[in-house]
Amino acid sequence: MQDNQTKILITGGAGFIGSNLCDYFLSKGNHVVCLDNFATGHRYNIEHLLANDNFKLIEGDIRNLNDCIKATSNVDYVLHQAALGSVPRSIENPIITNDVNVSGFLNMLMASRDNGVKRFIFAASSSTYGDSQELPKKEDSIGKPLSPYAITKYVNELYADVFSKTYGLETIGLRYFNVFGRNQDPNGAYAAVIPKFVMQLMKKESPIINGDGNYSRDFTYIDNIIQVNELAMNTKDKTAINTVYNAAYGDSITLNDMVVLIKKYLSEFDPSIENVEIIYGPKRVGDIAHSLASIEKARTKLNYEPKYSFQLGLKEAVKWYWENLK
């Protein structure tokens, strides 16, 4: 556990994963700084934290080096989450995705180096596995990227590696696999599949599955992601740093089975949701058929032990959407 004086910068702290990290690390008595430009994050995710003396919001942009320097001042650890997510967004606008995810990332590395940050932990992505067919995915074996987004996330790993070797900055990349849970935005063209489907089903609208629904994903509940961030921050094992880890549950479920479960859990609140039909649409460009992580490396090196199975997490998430967004 961190002592009370630890100061953590969470970039993208108003977003889905970032706001959960802000809540958690504040609840553990740390000082938390949130740097966000609200591009895809929301003030309502952090509104309840603004009165907390241990919380500081810096409204700024990682594309601006001065904002990054200001945000990393006197900071012990950086949990870098700020980025433009979504494969389709990056296919529609690769330039802005690259500016934020690559140039912004480099600014954050520079600022962290110059302000003497102890460790820089960053949100990497399972998209780095690209066209590799190997299952389960192991950290050392990646394929070719399938989207501009995937390129940016891979470049992040390369930059972090060079910064650790060249300047001695401690870094850890966490390759998140399809994270879901409270605060994940269900709205907008680039919404992730779980919150989007939950919201549609709550409104009794038919969700559209791209393809035949036999695609599978290693959907990972947010609390597992919080755990692996905390472990990455706290590890004293020098052989566990300057590397990347899969951050997942380590099991996969098809989209068809996922929808059945969402309907089942929502039916506990409104039984008529069980009757909403599912529609099948065309396959999406850049989508891979199956994704499943090996979590052995995080288990062995960081003592990661994910507590939430997909079912357990989904039940929590569905309840949260019902109670907060219905």
Q: Which is nearer to ligand NAD, 17 or 318 (CB)?
A: 17
Judged by CB under 6 A, the stretch of 7-15, 88-96, 205-213, 304-312 that binds ligand NAD is 7-15
Does residue 41 contact residue 49 with C-beta atoms inside 8 Å? no
Q: Which is nearer to ligand NAD, 101 or 242 (CB)?
A: 101
Nearest to 119 by CA among 178, 72, 60, 57: 72
Using CB under 6 A, which of 6, 30, 72, 81 touches ligand NAD? 81
What are the CB-based long-range contacts (under 8 Å, 24+) for 126-131?
A: 126/175, 126/176, 126/177, 126/178, 126/218, 126/246, 126/248, 126/291, 126/293, 127/87, 127/153, 128/153, 128/154, 128/157, 128/175, 129/288, 129/291, 130/288, 131/288
Using CB under 6 A, which of 123, 142, 199, 201 touches ligand NAD? 123
Decide: is 6 part of the binding site for ligand NAD (CB under 6 A).
Answer: no
CB of 29 to ligand NAD, least distance (A): 23
Decide: is 230 part of the binding site for ligand NAD (CB under 6 A).
Answer: no
Decide: is 97 part of the binding site for ligand NAD (CB under 6 A).
Answer: no
* String of DSSP letters for 33-92: EEEE--SS--GGGTGGGTT-TTEEEEE--TTSHHHHHHHHTT-SEEEE--S---HHHHHH
CB of 127 to ligand NAD, least distance (A): 7
Decide: is 71 part of the binding site for ligand NAD (CB under 6 A).
Answer: no
Q: Identify each DSSP E strand in the chain by its residue range.
A: 7-11, 31-36, 55-59, 77-80, 119-125, 171-176, 179-180, 208-210, 216-217, 220-221, 243-247, 253-254, 279-281
Collect all residues with Cβ–Cβ distance below 8 Å to 159 and sequence separation of at least 6.
102, 105, 106, 109
Residue 54 to residue 4: CA distance in whole angstroms: 10
Decide: is 173 part of the binding site for ligand NAD (CB under 6 A).
Answer: no
Decide: is 148 part of the binding site for ligand NAD (CB under 6 A).
Answer: no
Decide: is 39 part of the binding site for ligand NAD (CB under 6 A).
Answer: yes
Decide: is 179 part of the binding site for ligand NAD (CB under 6 A).
Answer: yes
Judged by CB under 6 A, the stretch of 79-87, 133-141, 251-259, 286-294 that binds ligand NAD is 79-87
Using CB under 6 A, which of 178, 227, 229, 246 touches ligand NAD? 178
CB of 51 to ligand NAD, least distance (A): 20
Using CB under 6 A, which of 37, 97, 98, 229 touches ligand NAD? 37
Q: Which is nearer to ligand NAD, 36 or 230 (CB)?
A: 36
Using CB under 6 A, which of 26, 49, 78, 82 touches ligand NAD? 82
Q: Which two tokens stand for residue 89?
A: 């967004």
State the Cα angle at 188 between 132 and 9, rounded to 5°: 70
Active site (catalytic) residues: 149
Using CB under 6 A, which of 6, 7, 10, 12 touches ligand NAD? 12
Residue 275 to residue 259: CA distance in whole angstroms: 12
Decide: is 15 part of the binding site for ligand NAD (CB under 6 A).
Answer: yes
By the criterion CB under 6 A, which residues form the site for ligand NAD? 12, 14-18, 35-41, 61-63, 81-85, 100, 104, 123, 125, 176, 178-179, 185
